Amino acid sequence: MIYKVILAYDGSNYAGWQKQENALGIQEVIEKALTTIHKKETFITASGRTDAKVHALGQVFHFEADKKIGPDRYKMALNALLPEDIRILKVSMEADDFHARFSAKSKRYDYICTYEKENPFVYKYKEILNHTLNIEAMRKASEYLVGTHDFTSFSSSKIDPRKPRIKTITRIDIFEENQDIRFIYEGTGFLRYQVRMMTETLIMVGSNKIDIEEVKRILDKKDKSACRYNASPNGLYLVHVNY
């Protein structure tokens, strides 16, 4: 049986999604819980990795199981075994060809910034802003990033050189929510650090530190060294994966 799982997690206490030798990843915590349930080693495959301190409202993974257990029972059993900062939202049985990563059609990431720097409860979940941002300038600059482009300039140098850098962004919205500013990105997929690097570049535009056209110049260079901006991970959320 193939099971699809939608979950949410607070990434503050983890070294990212991926299982690691010298640090605790969210994947490892979940696999241990499933191994306890199945009484044998169980592995999971996610829609993609999130980095250390990055959060998720709608991450997806799948796993295989020999015996049929109802989705609701899986949800209850997993939530009983998992820590409170990892919550299973929904479990469903899928067709044999379902794959959490390869079946995904698009993803949505949100990035949240805030002017609320005196609030000690936001530091783990939002990037603190020290200057008022020009929202309209950031929106104009973001138009250069919408569409199908080579996003090498907005990617990590650690990415396998064989991995394609061409991605399609279908939506970028930027709007104010009380003392917060929310960036919404939807696309077919994103490179490592891409959303964070695009966000911080747009923040530089909104802070009048670079001009709007600089975003296009950085993009057109298709060079990892072209962009030196990278927003902090704690403001980033994987919101939804579309299949």
Which H or E run includes 141?
Answer: helix 135-142
**Residue of 51, 85, 150, 180 with catalytic role:** 51
CA distances from 109 to 35, 57, 89, 92, 103 (A): 30, 10, 18, 23, 18
| Cα distance between the two ends of the chain | 19
109 is in an annotated binding site: yes
Q: Specify whether the CB–CB gap between 16 and 56 falls below 8 A.
A: no
Cα–Cα distance for residue pair 201/205, rounded to 1 Å: 7
Say how many residues make up the chain: 243
Q: Say whether 72 is catalytic.
A: no
Does residue 38 contact residue 95 with C-beta atoms inside 8 Å? no
For residue 159, which amino acid is it?
I
Pairing state of beta strands 106-114 and 127-128?
A: parallel
> Which residues line the annotated binding site for substrate?
109
Binding residues are 109
Catalytic residue ranges: 51
